[in-house]
């Protein structure tokens, strides 16, 4: 087979990525597959996991081995969750509905994006009514209107979401060259349905020499005080997604966060940030056992999952591979990607002599 040609049938996540290039139009491909600026962080995320070696063990007893993990007092069949991904109807007409069906069938947790193109209530009817499904969490951006933000929180609670994941690393969008070259736009019928009714941002008059970014858009950007406010508004576990610095991890602990997702936004915000495989260990050292850690960015193999847990995470999230599989074969594609990752994780555990994913 010509290495540049897509495979006839996918057997790994890279095969889905190759097939998706022909299924996604230029507009959607620029949005889903692009990163910030020169995309150095985007590439580093994948490469860093590859460069971490594993140590094999032989003749270890493996009877009773399993992939179960416990997150927020809930036992999950495996440590693989679906990261929040916006506008999934760009990839497939069923969008997040198909993703939810696959997640429920494969017992994977799902984090639904604020910018989902399908409402949380529809997703909850798929996930939360299945006793064998993984948890449904709601990803949140703090909006400029606190009342609107609180309404989103109450809506997620009422739907049955069992945690909130607050994205904190994107007060402004990264410089995404691919999107600008493609002239990215949302086609008719695709929108962030949870943001319907968001009041317009108050107009600001800028004085001469003021910055439209610093003195305009970012004049009321969220701070740690806003995180503390949100923590006081809900009893759901609150995770902060996008923490990359140990001091920020300690601040998250001080304002009452219940967990962290170590993430560089998939390389989509600040280019030249280190890979998440590099960022994870110092954050794990900073918070110890006080905060559960998850990680995303560049996970493409079951061996990557095992490495992430060895470095301090309790679970991982996958993003781009979900959308690529969705574009290729809808819910069946996403389910296959999850099955591939779990199978590869079990193989890696067997060959390294790990019967559980506990740290001990």
CA distance 281 to 248: 14
Partnered with residue 294 across adjacent β-strands are 261, 315
Among 78, 92, 265, 336, the active-site one is 265
Strands 259-262 and 293-296: parallel
Task: Assess whether 144 carries a catalytic annotation.
Answer: no
- For 170, 177, 205, 276, 340, the CA distances from 212, given in Å and listed in that order, are 17, 20, 10, 31, 46
Taking the CA of residue 310 as centre, how many other CA atoms within 13 Å lie in the half-sphere pointing to its CB? 18
User: For 116, which DSSP code?
Assistant: -
Report phi then psi at 241, rounded to 5.
-110, 125
Structure tokens at 142: 């703090």
CA distance 295 to 187: 31
Task: Catalogue the active-site residues.
Answer: 265
């Amino acid at each position: 087979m010509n290495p540049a040609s897509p495979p006839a049938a996918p057997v790994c996540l890279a095969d889905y990525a190759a097939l998706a290039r022909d299924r996604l139009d230029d507009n959607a491909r620029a949005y889903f597959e692009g990163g910030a600026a020169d995309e150095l962080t985007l590439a580093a995320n994948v490469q860093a996991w590859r460069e971490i070696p594993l140590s094999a063990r032989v003749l270890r007893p493996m009877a009773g081995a399993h992939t179960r993990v416990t997150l927020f007092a809930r036992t999950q069949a495996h440590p693989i969750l679906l990261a929040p991904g916006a506008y999934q109807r760009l990839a497939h007409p069923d969008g997040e509905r198909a993703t939810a069906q696959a997640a429920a069938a494969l017992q994977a947790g799902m984090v639904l994006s604020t910018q989902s193109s399908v409402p949380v209530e529809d997703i909850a009817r798929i996930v939360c009514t299945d006793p064998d499904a993984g948890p449904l969490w709601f990803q949140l951006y703090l909006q400029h209107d606190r009342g609107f933000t609180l309404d989103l929180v109450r809506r997620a609670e009422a739907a049955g979401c069992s945690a909130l994941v607050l994205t904190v690393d994107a007060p402004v969008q990264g410089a995404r060259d691919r999107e600008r070259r493609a002239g990215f736009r949302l086609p008719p019928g695709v929108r962030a349905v949870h943001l319907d009714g968001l009041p317009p941002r108050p107009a600001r008059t800028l004085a001469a020499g003021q910055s439209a970014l610093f003195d305009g858009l970012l004049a009321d950007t969220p701070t740690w005080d806003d995180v503390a406010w949100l923590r006081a508004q809900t009893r759901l576990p609150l995770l902060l997604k996008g923490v990359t610095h140990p001091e920020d991890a300690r601040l998250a602990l001080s304002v009452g966060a219940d967990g962290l997702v170590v993430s560089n936004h998939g390389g989509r915000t600040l280019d030249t940030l280190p890979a998440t495989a590099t960022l994870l260990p110092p954050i794990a050292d900073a918070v110890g056992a006080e905060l559960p850690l998850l990680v995303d960015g560049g996970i493409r193999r079951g061996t990557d999952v095992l490495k992430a847990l060895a470095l301090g995470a309790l679970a991982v999230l996958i993003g781009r591979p979900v959308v690529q599989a969705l574009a290729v074969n809808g819910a069946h594609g996403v389910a296959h990607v999850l099955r591939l990752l779990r199978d590869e994780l079990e193989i890696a555990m067997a060959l390294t002599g790990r019967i559980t994913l506990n740290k001990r």
